[in-house]
Each structure stands twice: as C-alpha cells, then as structure tokens.
Amino acid sequence: NAGVTQTPKFRVLKTGQSMTLLCAQDMNHEYMYWYRQDPGMGLRLIHYSVGEGTTAKGEVPDGYNVSRLKKQNFLLGLESAAPSQTSVYFCASSSWSPQETQYFGPGTRLLVL
Amino acid sequence: GDSVTQMEGPVTLSEEAFLTINCTYTATGYPSLFWYVQYPGEGLQLLLKATKADDKGSNKGFEATYRKETTSFHLEKGSVQVSDSAVYFCALVYTGGFKTIFGAGTRLFVKA
C-alpha cells in the first residue's frame, strides 16, 4: 500500500520555466490538497479538490494551476516559475474532509533560480 | 483572522525528559484541533486530534487537551525518546471547512 506518492522528489528550474508536479493516492480518497511549506510559516494551502473533476483555490493560489481528471491523481502546475515559488510542496489526501486524517506525501523540493 | 501560534524551537531535551510544546489558537468558532509530526525527510503524519472542548487526544505516549477557556492545545509527553526527534505542527480545521490552518512548527531534538 503506497499511500500518497509525489513525483519528482527534487527539481531545479530557471525563472520562467514551467513544470507539473504529480500526486497519486491509492486510498480511494475524495479530498486532495496541495500545500507549500516555507521556513517559519508552517504549511499553506495552495489548491484543493473535493472530488474527481473539481478544484478550488486555497490560501495562496496565485501562480499555480491544478487538475483532477482522475480521482487518484492531483496535478499541480507552474506555468512560469518565479524565485518566490522556491519551496517544499506537499500533497495530501483525506477520505471526505480535512477534519479527517490527512495523509501526506513525502514532498517535492523545488528550487527556482 | 484565525491563526495558530506555537512556541519557537528548537527544543532540545535529554532522553526520558518531560516534553511540553505550547500551542494556542485564535478562532471565531469551534474548530477541531490536531497535532501532526514530520520526521526528517518525510511528509506530515497525524499524531493526535480533539474535536471539542475538554476532549483529550492521545497517541504513542503523547497527549493534548482541547482547552476552550485558554484557547490552547499543548502537546505533552512524559518521557521522550531519541526517536521522537521531529518537527511538530499544531493545526485547526472548522467543521465543514476546507482549510487547515497550521502553526509554524516546533523542532524537537532529543539527545541520548
């Protein structure tokens, strides 16, 4: 049972480049989330999804887009990376709400030069 | 706005010492409260939670009590081990809400 997996683990981008982070869960969870973790700031919600085909903005959505075409996958896109997007990105899922246990992936470390 | 404040780290303890990590929150309603733990190189894992005032969450020797009167959810453990070295996050979620508000995290180092 893999739980929540994220691809890639680490990436270096130049300013203006684009990339997609992939999150996959095998627990049949309805809710999925993308967070970013910055030093001294805890985790902040970027976007979330309450089911296949749905997405919604979180606390810090600017500069990111997401898609949930399949229930088990949640993609986070950066169309034009900026140094301010240097961070560690975590994907999480929960069965039906964030009040239930959220299961986190191992994270993707992104450096934008 | 709603917020979670944790004591600044790092906290350094010797093995078998008593641990307290303070967490206070500001909220307009009655949220559920959580402690998550992040071990080096890993994602967060739920440690314990409490859904209403005076509830006590407990797991792996850790415990925390939801105190509405002091808006606090302090994490305690009677005897820490080296394996408890990690970053601990306090968090809140409203019933029916979609957003989890995390504290900044408190790093714990336990020396043998």
Decide if A74 contacts A10 (C-beta within 8 A): no
Decide if B81 contacts B74 (C-beta within 8 A): no
Give how far the C-alpha of residue B60 lies from the chain's centroid of Cα atoms, to the nearest Å: 13
Query: Which residue of chain A comes nearest to B90, CA vs CA?
Result: A42
Return mean pLDDT, chain A.
94
Q: Do A106 and B96 touch (CB under 8 A)?
A: no
**Cβ-proximal residues to B111 (8 Å cutoff; 6+ apart), any chain:** B12, B13, B14, B15, B82
Percent of chain A at pLDDT above 70?
99
Residues of chain B neighbouring A59 (CB-CB closer than 8 A): 99
User: Which pLDDT score, from 0 to 100, does residue A99 have?
Assistant: 79
At A1, the pLDDT band (50, 70, 90 cuts) reads low
Q: Do A59 and B99 touch (CB under 8 A)?
A: yes
Q: What is the mean pLDDT of the segment spanning A38-52? A: 91
User: Which pLDDT score, from 0 to 100, does residue B13 have?
Assistant: 97
**b/e string for B87-110 if b means 16 or more Cβ within 10 A?**
bbbbbbbbeebbbbbbbbbbebeb
Q: Which of B43, B51, B99 is nearest residue A90 as measured by Cβ atoms? A: B43
User: Which pLDDT score, from 0 to 100, does residue B1 have?
Assistant: 76
B79 to chain A, closest Cα gap in Å? 26
Residue B31 confidence (pLDDT) above 80: yes
At A35, the pLDDT band (50, 70, 90 cuts) reads very high
Strand B106-111, strand B11-14: pairing: parallel
Residues of chain A neighbouring B98 (CB-CB closer than 8 A): 48, 50, 56, 58, 97-98
- Other Cβ atoms within 10 Å of A72 Cβ, number: 15
Residue A37 confidence (pLDDT) above 80: yes
- Other Cβ atoms within 10 Å of A86 Cβ, number: 16
* DSSP secondary structure, B38-85, as one string: E-TTS-EEEEEEE-STT-EEEETTEEEE-BTTTTB--EEESS--GGG-
Residues of chain A neighbouring B4 (CB-CB closer than 8 A): 42
* pLDDT tens-digit map of B37-96: 999 888 899 999 999 999 999 999 999 999 999 999 999 999 999 999 999 999 999 877
Report B:80-109 residues touching A (Cβ under 8 A): 89, 93, 95-100, 102-105
Q: What is the mean pLDDT of the segment spanning A76-104? A: 93
User: Which pLDDT score, from 0 to 100, does residue A42 have?
Assistant: 85
Query: Which residue of chain A comes nearest to B46, CA vs CA?
Result: A101
